[in-house]
């Protein structure tokens, strides 16, 4: 009997194809919107996680101030110095690499080409800490770091804009007024989790940058790589205690520096993206309710149109339960068809949009199944009232209906 009911429902839907399509349009849009939003949101979460991970794992970044900026209202927190770097390297257990960094913005010039970039003064430990391999060439020697020689390692963006397809190794170009010899090129990394181009950089020995660009011996931030055998949180507390002592911060006074764990940043950003995905999915799900109301309205019209048919069925022996089941199945079939079409549209939309917004396409069977089942539930909930109304008709009054 159930199979016969489904066949009757499909036959009734085929009799009014245009009306049936307009009826399920709300379900189609709702399912497509929910699945598309959640799929793209999952892709964005994965993209953020991958970009943060590209900064390196088990990495601590130490900056002056209580946030990413210098803080506001009070005096400017002091930068770090070489003694701080040596203290962290020698006194904190679990540290595998410590890389100081001093930065300056400048213009790189070679022949007729020029490019505005950032020069980062650091040591060879920076590449170790960041797990950033060279594409070609070599890193700084101890002699070059000690003497502050003007040698540099360039990122892929700088290489493309200054040298094109030419091999830059051994070539010279100017950073502002400083002539620099290229001794290595960095492998390509792309955008960071904060929207910056990681490949738009030039690395030089920190003493060269301090002497020729910043004009002081201050260190703006320190990158620390934690040995995987140690807990990152434990090493972080040790660094904080050491720096509080070195910077003369008394008990109860706030830190004038910040130690940031890249893993914590990744988890925070990923959590925020997931929440936004859930909110967008919930907003899109409202259209499913609108689609359910549309199904209920059309089914009520269908009950009115088929009142005599219902009366005949009841008069020749059909029970109310069978009439209720027939109309309820029609509503569920309509909703399921809308769900299937919506899933197909969502699949096409996400495959097209994901590359445009530069996020990975992550097919999630769970959200697709949930969206389809929810569309079927919408059919049951909003189809029950019209079906109940059809089943409760009096056969005599139904046969008299014009």
pLDDT band at residue 279 using 50, 70 and 90 as cut-offs = confident
Question: By the 8 A CB rule, do 291 and 338 touch?
Answer: yes
pLDDT band at residue 338 using 50, 70 and 90 as cut-offs = confident
pLDDT in tens, 95-113: 999 999 999 999 999 988 9
Statement: residue 61 has pLDDT above 80: yes
Ranges 55-59, 63-67, 197-201: which has the least confidence: 55-59
* Residues in contact with 354: Cβ distance below 8 Å, sequence separation at least 6, in sequence order: 39, 40, 43, 360, 361
Give domain limits for the chain: 2-51+267-400, 78-255
Statement: residue 157 has pLDDT above 50: yes
State the angle between helix axes of 82-91 and 232-246 in degrees (0 to 180), rounded to the nearest 10: 140
Ranges 90-94, 196-200, 274-278, 361-365: which has the least confidence: 274-278
Tell me how far apart the alpha carbons of residues 301 and 256 are, in angstroms, rounded to a whole number: 71
Angle of CA points 381, 383, 387, to nearest 5°: 125
Statement: residue 202 has pLDDT above 70: yes
Q: What's the confidence (pLDDT) of residue 99? A: 93
Tell me how far apart the alpha carbons of residues 401 and 61 are, in angstroms, rounded to a whole number: 80
Nearest to 392 by CA among 319, 333, 329: 319
Ranges 136-145, 167-176, 189-198, 346-355: which has the least confidence: 189-198
Beta-carbon neighbour count of residue 164 at 10 Å?
9
Select the more confidently predicted residue: 257 or 131.
Answer: 257
Mean pLDDT along residues 165-182: 92
What percentage of the chain exceeds 90 in pLDDT?
35
pTM over 0.75: no
What percentage of the chain exceeds 70 in pLDDT?
86
Tell me how far apart the alpha carbons of residues 367 and 38 are, in angstroms, rounded to a whole number: 8
Statement: residue 382 has pLDDT above 90: no
Mean pLDDT along residues 296-320: 73
* Residues in contact with 31: Cβ distance below 8 Å, sequence separation at least 6, in sequence order: 288, 338, 339, 341, 342, 343, 346, 371, 372, 374, 375
pLDDT band at residue 57 using 50, 70 and 90 as cut-offs = low
Enclosing H/E stretch for 163: helix 156-163
Statement: residue 264 has pLDDT above 80: no
Mean pLDDT along residues 305-314: 72
* Residues in contact with 293: Cβ distance below 8 Å, sequence separation at least 6, in sequence order: 26, 382
Q: What's the confidence (pLDDT) of residue 108? A: 94
User: Average pLDDT over the chain, rounded to whole?
Assistant: 83
Q: What's the confidence (pLDDT) of residue 316? A: 74
Q: What's the confidence (pLDDT) of residue 56? A: 57
Determine the distance from the C-alpha atom of residue 82 to the mean position of all C-alpha atoms in its chain, rounded to a whole number: 37
Statement: residue 154 has pLDDT above 80: yes
pLDDT in tens, 352-381: 988 888 788 888 888 889 888 888 888 888
Q: What's the confidence (pLDDT) of residue 71? A: 47
């Amino acid at each position: 009997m159930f199979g016969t009911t489904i066949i009757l429902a499909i036959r009734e839907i085929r009799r009014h194809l245009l009306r049936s399509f307009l009826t399920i349009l709300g379900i189609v849009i709702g399912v497509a919107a929910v699945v598309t939003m959640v799929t793209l949101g999952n892709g964005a979460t994965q993209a953020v996680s991958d970009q943060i991970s590209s900064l390196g794992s088990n990495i601590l970044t130490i900056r002056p101030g209580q946030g990413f900026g210098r803080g506001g209202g009070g005096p400017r927190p002091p930068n770090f110095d070489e003694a701080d770097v040596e203290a962290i390297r020698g006194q904190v257990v679990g540290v595998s690499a410590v890389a100081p960094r001093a930065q300056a913005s400048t213009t790189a010039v070679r022949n007729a080409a020029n490019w505005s970039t950032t020069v980062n003064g650091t040591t060879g430990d920076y590449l170790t800490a960041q797990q950033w391999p060279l594409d070609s060439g070599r890193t700084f020697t101890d002699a070059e770091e000690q003497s502050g020689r003007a040698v540099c390692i360039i990122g892929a963006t700088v290489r493309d804009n200054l040298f094109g397809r030419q091999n830059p190794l051994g070539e010279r170009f100017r950073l502002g007024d400083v002539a620099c010899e290229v001794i290595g090129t960095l492998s390509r990394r792309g955008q960071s989790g904060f929207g910056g181009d990681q490949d738009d950089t030039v690395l030089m020995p920190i003493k060269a940058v301090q002497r020729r660009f910043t004009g002081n011996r201050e260190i703006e931030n320190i990158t620390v790589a934690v040995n995987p055998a140690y807990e990152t949180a434990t090493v972080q507390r040790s660094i904080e205690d050491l720096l509080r002592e070195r910077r003369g911060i008394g008990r109860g006074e706030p830190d004038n520096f910040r130690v940031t764990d890249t893993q914590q940043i990744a988890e925070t950003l990923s959590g925020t993206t997931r929440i936004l995905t859930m909110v967008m999915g919930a907003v899109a799900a409202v259209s499913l309710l609108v689609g359910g109301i549309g199904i209920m309205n059309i089914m009520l019209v269908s009950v009115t149109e088929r009142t005599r048919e219902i009366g005949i069925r009841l008069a020749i022996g059909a029970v109310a339960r069978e009439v209720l089941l027939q109309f309820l199945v029609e509503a569920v079939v309509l909703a399921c068809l809308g769900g299937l079409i919506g899933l197909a549209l969502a699949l096409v939309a996400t495959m097209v949009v994901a590359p445009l917004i530069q996020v990975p396409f992550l097919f999630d069977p769970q959200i697709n199944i949930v969206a389809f089942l929810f569309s079927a539930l919408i059919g049951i909930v909003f189809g029950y009232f019209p079906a109940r109304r059809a089943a409760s008709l009096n056969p005599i009054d139904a046969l008299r209906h014009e």
